[in-house]
Amino acid sequence: MTTDEHPVRDLTDLQALADRVVELVRTSPRAQHATVEANVLVGRTRHGLTRFANSFVHQHVGEDTVSVALTLAVDGRTATAATTDTRDDALRSLIASTLDSASLQPVDPHWPGATPPAPVTREGNFDAATADARPEERAERVKAFVDADRDLRAAGYLDTEATWAAFASTAGQRVVGRTSRATVDGIHQTGSSAGSAHQTSQRLTELDAAAAGALAADRGRRSAEFVDVDPGIYEVVLGPEAVATILTFLGVYGFNAKMHLEGGSYAKIGEQQLDAQLTILEDPDDPRSVALPFDNEGTPRRTYPLVEAGVTRNLAHDRRTARRAGTQTTGSAVPGGAGFGAVPTTMRLVAGTPPAEQLVADVGRGLLVTQFHYCRVLDPKTLVVTGLTRNGTFLVEDGEVVGAVGNLRFTQSFVQALAQGQVAAIGNDDRYADAEFGPGAVIAPSLRLKAWNFTGGARG
Amino acid sequence: MFDYARAAVEAALAAGATYADARVVIRRQERIAAHNGEVESVTHAEDAGVGVRALIGSSWGFAATGELTDVAAKKAGAEATATAKASALVPGAAIELADVPVAQDVYETPHAENPFDVPLGDKVDLVVGVTRTMSEVEGIAVATAHLGFWDTDKWFVSSQGHRIHQHLVEAGGGMDATAVGESETQRRSYPQSFGHYETGGYEVIRRFDLPGNAARIAEEAVQLLSAPDCPAGEMDLVLESSQLALQIHESVGHAIELDRILGWEAAFAGTSFLDLEQLGSLQYGSELMNITADATIPGALATFGYDDEGTPARAVDIVREGTWVGVLSGRDTAHLAGLEPGGMVRADGFNRLPMVRMTNVGLKPGEGSLDEIIADTRRGVYLATNRSWSIDDRRLNFQFGCEIGWEIVDGKLGRMVKNPTYTGITPRFWASLDRLAGEDEWVPWGVPNCGKGQPMQVGHTGHPASPGRFTNVRVGVKG
């Protein structure tokens, strides 16, 4: 299915659909005797996914879906609804039932009103060729990843995704945006080990699947013979994927303004909570960005510091938490945010100057960790997290990788691990990294930390 | 709706598929959440569309469209086949499907009171009321409660003649209270973390008695702030049944997924420590360990009439008196392994490719009661309600945290303890199971948030369990 064949094709169609929903809200008979406000987000997602395992493509998927998300307030009483049925009758019915739902509620004390006008200055980074990528184009690149080492077993995925979105509100906000993304993420397995590699770009053509496959195979082969090391505190060099996982937890539990308002975040604005080498930005303006130019509430995204030279500077707000905190939204609203809060979605840890190899070369005895796995919070306030290493963990002695080690479990406060004096160096190899929760949200370099608490081995 | 599914299947076959099936799915969801005595959100969502699978050679092609028209359904069918054909660039051995009965049937979840027919005001009053009760307990900073309901219609058609309509009704919810201290937070939830869900109607919610438990869990959250830390060391561990349910989910349920065992989920979800050559001989646990995967248990969350391949629901023995004897499978994986298909393939909505998912993977009850188990324990801890969960990519090394615990000293519950964790290696841990409570305390716990697949799909799984005791477990791991 090409983009031209879809009934809702492009930004113009989506804007018209968003406007139509606003109009239907305004003219609904149920809305005539009350003050009715509405936020309408219309999105189209086109996703192509080529999954492979045991060195062949076993699942191959195409999806093209338009959705409408609606937030209504009737005299300050709110309800939300979503549908994939964009026919007029279905939309009228949805609006009527949502108005009914809202009318039955008590007044929502945190309703900030419909989103007011605020222009976005860009449309988003978008590549039409990626949006229209054919399954054969994905499969060719998967072949390159697999062929990088035919003696090993390859598994992973290569996908292309395009998102078009339009937002309209009864308060007059009207914005559109689009973005595209392509990712290759996979492993090469020996009988006893695996190595991984990841690339994300706005453009499918920028993915070098053969190089990713070669890197994964190299890591997998170097891990085939491994020894177990004793649990304990080790100096570590963390690859970008592992760093991206840390940043994701900082974002979700630390910079989340709702969590902060409720006393569950470690963040203290203006305090030196992390190492002075660390600057973390919410950065939709990064030229590599694959984010829409506005958030779930239609607020333009903007770049701002979350942590500046180790000092916590800002939190991620949506309009609800901004109202509660007496500040401005940062354009960080996400679906479900009324319950969970706002989180940064385009985080970037500012890179350092040394290459990743130098980080390893400066380690006396420690571990090189390429990837974390199954991380879960034990206490959100101190950000104590447990998880494991995966797909390539190596012992470093006197600046050299001397061999692979078996996977290890850690239990570690992420805040303490990044505290002042704990960061030895930041690499210059920043790139989109695939935290365990998905690609395209965090740009991270390698990081050398002085202490990481490993609490057990993973040998069966 | 059958017509759209049939059109998609016919288009897929016309384009060259050797087998095709299609599901038209219309799913309504309602979620009501309250926070500190106020409504937080009332959300309704409806998604509808058709998803079609086409098989050629070694690959499934899948296409989905949210447009329910004959034209769109046919286009999706053709696209599914074209997508499968493209996979020939990276081929494997041809996929074949194990035989299943070809059914033409209608199935509906038993339910007494459709939750969508219950007045919204009643549902809102319930969650607002219990959060108010929890908030009134001194020291509680955050009190939340939620209800969630799904009403799903599926029309399934296959090129082999299946024609099945299912109407599934699911209901559940829960509440939690969080106390915030100087440098920590403590949370208690009920009936279990993230809520408990079952197939059935609003009667499920009425049975929970949320109001009757609100003050208790809030008071426990506050007490935890001043409780001592869980002791560290090796000791006997008694698990309350909802935590044992999650233990089953993570260290048994995922490990026995045949697609994982075959390596099909290796890159993301991971593989399994299980090797098919050990099926029938591997000692998974002690003789008290009897695990079944049973999609027919009344009221359990993963109960249905047919899976998303049209295979009828049934019960499969997984572990029998400690020996591993079964897997979770679909038609393709079962054929590859030379096993009977288990009917365990489901998708999260019309636009997702079905995959092997847990049904009701549960531990058959033992004898006696939790009280008797505690009375029989000299030194140990009793832990309840999951707080964190983590396990390696082969499902061996796990670490769980619970919300609350109590010391057990000489057969009696002692002090409340906080931040309890325990860790272990799957077969060693299950081998240490030495007491299991009986049927009276057996609960079909539902897990509504099981993640698997790429892109991530959410699965609904059931895990019946009663409280149990494990000996010499490492407890109290600290960060």
Kindly give, in sequence order, each residue whose CB lies less than 8 Å from that of residue A32, ignoring residues fewer than 6 positions away. Answer: none
pLDDT digits (tens, 9 = 90+) for A362-373: 999 999 999 999
Please tell me the distance from the alpha carbon of residue A201 to that of residue A184, in angstroms, as a whole number: 9
* A53:B38 CB<8 A: no
Span B465-474, average pLDDT: 98
Same domain, A23 and A110: yes
Boundary residue ending a domain (A179, A206, A233): A206
- Binned at pLDDT 50, 70 and 90, residue A122 comes out as confident
A400 touches chain B (CB under 8 A): no
Same domain, A229 and A183: no
Question: Is residue A416 in a domain?
Answer: yes
Kindly give, in sequence order, each residue whose CB lies less than 8 Å from that of residue A403, ignoring residues fewer than 6 positions away. Answer: A225, A226, A227, A394, A395
CA angle A373, A374, A378 (to 5 degrees): 125
Please tell me the distance from the alpha carbon of residue B97 to that of residue B336, in angstroms, as a whole number: 8
* B184:A382 CB<8 A: yes
Please tell me the distance from the alpha carbon of residue A327 to that of residue A333, in angstroms, as a whole number: 14
Same domain, A297 and A415: yes
pLDDT digits (tens, 9 = 90+) for B143-180: 999 999 999 999 999 999 999 999 999 999 999 999 99
| Whether the predicted pLDDT of A114 surpasses 70 | yes
Please tell me the distance from the alpha carbon of residue A298 to that of residue A301, in angstroms, as a whole number: 9
Please tell me the distance from the alpha carbon of residue A292 to that of residue A275, in angstroms, as a whole number: 31
Tokens, residue A429 = 């190899």
Question: Is residue A216 in a domain?
Answer: no
* A378:B421 CB<8 A: yes
Mean pLDDT of chain B: 96
| Whether the predicted pLDDT of A4 surpasses 50 | no
Question: Is residue A220 in a domain?
Answer: no
- Binned at pLDDT 50, 70 and 90, residue A6 comes out as very low
Span B200-215, average pLDDT: 98
Residues in chain A closer than 8 A to B270 (CB atoms): 373
| Whether the predicted pLDDT of A437 surpasses 60 | yes
Of A55, A105, A411, the CB nearest to B479: A411
B117 touches chain A (CB under 8 A): no
Q: What pLDDT is stored for residue B479 in this prediction?
A: 60
Same domain, A195 and A344: no
B219 alpha carbon, distance to own chain's centre: 29
Q: How many contacts, defined by CB atoms under 8 Å, are there between A and B?
A: 288
Same domain, A266 and A351: yes
Rounded-to-10 torsion of CA B343, B344, B349, B354: -90
Which CA distances in Å does A306 have to A251, A295, A333, B339?
9, 17, 16, 54
| Whether the predicted pLDDT of A192 surpasses 70 | yes
Tokens, residue A6 = 């879809």
Question: Is residue A214 in a domain?
Answer: no
Q: What pLDDT is stored for residue A3 in this prediction?
A: 35
pLDDT digits (tens, 9 = 90+) for A399-409: 999 999 999 99
Give the residue among A31, A32, A43 at the shortest CA–CA distance from A73: A31
B301 alpha carbon, distance to own chain's centre: 8
Please tell me the distance from the alpha carbon of residue A36 to that of residue A71, in angstroms, as a whole number: 10
Span B327-342, average pLDDT: 97
- Binned at pLDDT 50, 70 and 90, residue A254 comes out as very high
Please tell me the distance from the alpha carbon of residue A142 to that of residue A62, in angstroms, as a whole number: 16
Question: Is residue A240 in a domain?
Answer: yes
Q: What percent of chain B has pLDDT over 90?
A: 97
Same domain, A235 and A158: no
| Whether the predicted pLDDT of A5 surpasses 60 | no
In A248-276, which positions are buried (b, 16+ CB within 10 angstroms) versus exposed (e)? bbbbbbbbbbbbbbbebbbbeeeeebbbe
Q: What pLDDT is stored for residue A336 in this prediction?
A: 86
The type of residue at B55 is L
Chain B interface, best mutation among A41, A52, A57, by max B CB count within 10 A: A57
Q: Considering only alpha carbons, which residue of chain A is nearest residue B389?
A: A376
Cβ proximity of B61 and B84 under 8 Å? yes
Same domain, A190 and A235: no
Same domain, A426 and A329: yes
Domain range for A47: 11-206
Same domain, A158 and A249: no
pLDDT digits (tens, 9 = 90+) for A137-167: 999 999 999 999 999 999 999 999 999 999 9
Of A101, A146, A390, the CB nearest to B120: A101
| Whether the predicted pLDDT of A2 surpasses 70 | no
Please tell me the distance from the alpha carbon of residue A246 to that of residue A387, in angstroms, as a whole number: 11
Question: Is residue A215 in a domain?
Answer: no
- Binned at pLDDT 50, 70 and 90, residue A7 comes out as low
Q: Which residues 349-388 of A have a C-beta within 8 angstroms of B?
A: 373-382, 384-388
Same domain, A65 and A185: yes
pLDDT digits (tens, 9 = 90+) for B114-145: 999 999 999 999 999 999 999 999 999 999 99
Question: Is residue A290 in a domain?
Answer: yes
Tokens, residue A201 = 């770009």
Q: What pLDDT is stored for residue A50 in this prediction?
A: 97
- Binned at pLDDT 50, 70 and 90, residue A457 comes out as confident
Span A447-459, average pLDDT: 90
| Whether the predicted pLDDT of B104 surpasses 60 | yes
Query: Diameter of chain A by CA atoms?
Result: 76
A118 touches chain B (CB under 8 A): no
Please tell me the distance from the alpha carbon of residue B318 to that of residue B330, in angstroms, as a whole number: 15
- Binned at pLDDT 50, 70 and 90, residue A431 comes out as very high
Please tell me the distance from the alpha carbon of residue B132 to that of residue B93, in angstroms, as a whole number: 60
Q: Find where tokens 């505190």 sit.
A: A233
| Whether the predicted pLDDT of A84 surpasses 60 | yes
The type of residue at B43 is T
Specify the length of chain B in residues: 479
3-class secondary structure, B460? strand
ipTM of the prediction: 0.94
Please tell me the distance from the alpha carbon of residue A347 to that of residue A305, in angstroms, as a whole number: 9
Q: What's the CATH code of the domain at A88?
A: 3.30.2290.10
Shortest distance between the Cα of B376 and any Cα of chain A, in A, equals: 30
| Whether the predicted pLDDT of A123 surpasses 90 | no
Same domain, A201 and A326: no
| Whether the predicted pLDDT of B101 surpasses 80 | yes
pTM of the full predicted structure? 0.95
Give the residue among B399, B371, B409 at the shortest CA–CA distance from B475: B399
* A264:B351 CB<8 A: no
Higher pLDDT, B236 or A339: B236
Shortest distance between the Cα of A264 and any Cα of chain B, in A, equals: 7
B363 alpha carbon, distance to own chain's centre: 14
- Binned at pLDDT 50, 70 and 90, residue A30 comes out as confident
Question: Is residue A180 in a domain?
Answer: yes
**CA-only gyration radius of chain B, Å:** 23
| Whether the predicted pLDDT of B396 surpasses 90 | yes
* B64:A338 CB<8 A: no
* A379:B425 CB<8 A: no
* A81:B43 CB<8 A: yes
Specify the length of chain A in residues: 460
Tokens, residue A445 = 């370099």
Same domain, A120 and A250: no
pLDDT digits (tens, 9 = 90+) for B25-47: 999 999 999 999 999 999 999 99
Total tally of structural domains belonging to chain A: 2
pLDDT digits (tens, 9 = 90+) for A218-240: 999 999 999 999 999 999 999 99
